[in-house]
Homo-oligomer: A and B are copies of this chain.
Amino acid sequence: MTLLVVGSVAFDAVETPHGKVERMIGGAATYFAVAASYFVSVRLVGVVGEDFTHDDAAIFRGRRIDTAGLERVKGLTFFWAGRYSPDMNDRTTLRTDLNVFADFQPKLPEIYRKSPFVFLANIQPALQRSVLQQMGARPKVVALDTMNYWIEGSNAELRELLRDVDVLMINDAEARQLSGEYNLLRAGRAIRAMGPKMLVIKRGEHGALLVEGNSVFSVPAMPLDKVHDPTGAGDSFAGGFMGSLAAAGRVNSASLRKAMVYGSVMGSFAVEHFGLERLRHLKRPEINARARQFKKLTHFNL
């Protein structure tokens, strides 16, 4: 089943202990779309500027990614620059130039409006809302990412929007901030009372948690020899998660758990190289092999 994603397409400059890249393609929707396209057909809604060339757009070609919804407008593409700490657990934003993203108004091509699976990447809640309003039918699954900035500054709009969301995908600090509960089980209950039936808590190198009903599922992060660049790991996780779920076509405990594993698989590939370098060159057998590694990593008999 097709999967719609709305979010940023950007240029990033990134510095980690393993190197420095002056300009590479990034953005939440880019990582998400590339990761998800290994599982299902993806429809992309976003905006780029005149500096986004035919060569840059190659990241989307030869994949199941429909870019009819990717607007190209006058001006420069969203640019972000950041530097990671030596342990890569913290990052400092050095520069954020919203550029054409400042006036982004998502416009869904007609054919996109019946997408059964929808991912609203981390953008202003009002824009996320406008995407839902353009949908011709209530999607089967709406998933949403957000951040501290919106939890603080657009709380009312976000809370209103959460009533129409099935899956909220945020990190542990955001779950704590949104719920006012430090304990993640209590945070999960409080957030589910706001609307989302399912909560996915991304914990970086500590893996991810799924809270649905009274059930909790935990998946670790794959221990890796080399972590070159954490940029986009969370969005790649989201892409693997939603891609796997949309490919399954139904939402139940089994498909959700499997989606958590494929989310972790895609997140683990994302960090192995700068930007999308590892993610863009994957083969499906590599993805399956790593999913089996997650099985080995977590399997036990009592």
Partner-B contacts on A (CB < 8 A): 86-87, 182-186, 203, 206-207, 209, 215-220, 223-227, 254, 257-258, 260-261, 288, 291-292, 295-302
Say whether, besides A218-B220, A223-B185, A260 and B300 are in contact (CB < 8 Å).
yes
Could you say which residues of chain B place their CB within 8 Å of the CB of A209?
223
Task: State whether B216 touches A223 (Cβ < 8 A).
Answer: yes
Tell me, rounded to whole Å, the shortest Cβ–Cβ distance linking A226 to chain B. 8
Question: In the bound complex, what is the Cα–Cα distance between A298 and B298 (angstroms)?
Answer: 7
Tell me, rounded to whole Å, the shortest Cβ–Cβ distance linking A13 to chain B. 24
Say whether, besides A203-B206, A292-B302, A300-B257, A185 and B224 are in contact (CB < 8 Å).
yes
Q: Out of B206, B225, B298, which one reaches A185, CB within 8 Å? A: B225
Closest 4 CB pairs of A and B: A218-B220, A257-B300, A206-B206, A185-B223
Query: Which B residue sits closest to A182, measured CB to CB?
Result: B87
Say whether, besides A206-B203, A291-B302, A298-B298, A220 and B220 are in contact (CB < 8 Å).
yes
Tell me, rounded to whole Å, the shortest Cβ–Cβ distance linking A34 to chain B. 22
Could you say which residues of chain B place their CB within 8 Å of the CB of A86?
182
Task: State whether A297 touches B223 (Cβ < 8 A).
Answer: no
Question: In the bound complex, what is the Cα–Cα distance between A209 and B205 (angstroms)?
Answer: 12
Could you say which residues of chain B place their CB within 8 Å of the CB of A299?
257
Q: Out of B183, B260, B297, which one reaches A216, CB within 8 Å? A: B297
Question: In the bound complex, what is the Cα–Cα distance between A182 and B258 (angstroms)?
Answer: 30
Task: State whether B225 touches A297 (Cβ < 8 A).
Answer: no
Question: In the bound complex, what is the Cα–Cα distance between A297 and B260 (angstroms)?
Answer: 12
Tell me, rounded to whole Å, the shortest Cβ–Cβ distance linking A80 to chain B. 25
Say whether, besides A203-B206, A206-B206, A209-B223, A300 and B217 are in contact (CB < 8 Å).
yes
Question: In the bound complex, what is the Cα–Cα distance between A183 and B89 (angstroms)?
Answer: 12
Say whether, besides A209-B223, A302-B258, A297 and B185 are in contact (CB < 8 Å).
no
Could you say which residues of chain B place their CB within 8 Å of the CB of A203?
206
Question: In the bound complex, what is the Cα–Cα distance between A216 and B294 (angstroms)?
Answer: 10
Query: Which B residue sits closest to A189, measured CB to CB?
Result: B225
Question: In the bound complex, what is the Cα–Cα distance between A42 and B135 (angstroms)?
Answer: 65
Task: State whether A217 touches B298 (Cβ < 8 A).
Answer: yes
Question: In the bound complex, what is the Cα–Cα distance between A64 and B10 (angstroms)?
Answer: 63
Task: State whether A225 touches B261 (Cβ < 8 A).
Answer: no
Question: In the bound complex, what is the Cα–Cα distance between A209 and B217 (angstroms)?
Answer: 17
Say whether, besides A291-B302, A301-B254, A215 and B261 are in contact (CB < 8 Å).
no
Q: A218-B220, A254-B301, A257-B300 are in contact. List 17 more A-B contacts (CB 8 A).
A: A183-B224, A183-B225, A183-B226, A185-B223, A206-B206, A207-B220, A209-B223, A215-B296, A216-B223, A218-B298, A220-B220, A254-B300, A257-B301, A258-B300, A258-B301, A260-B300, A292-B302
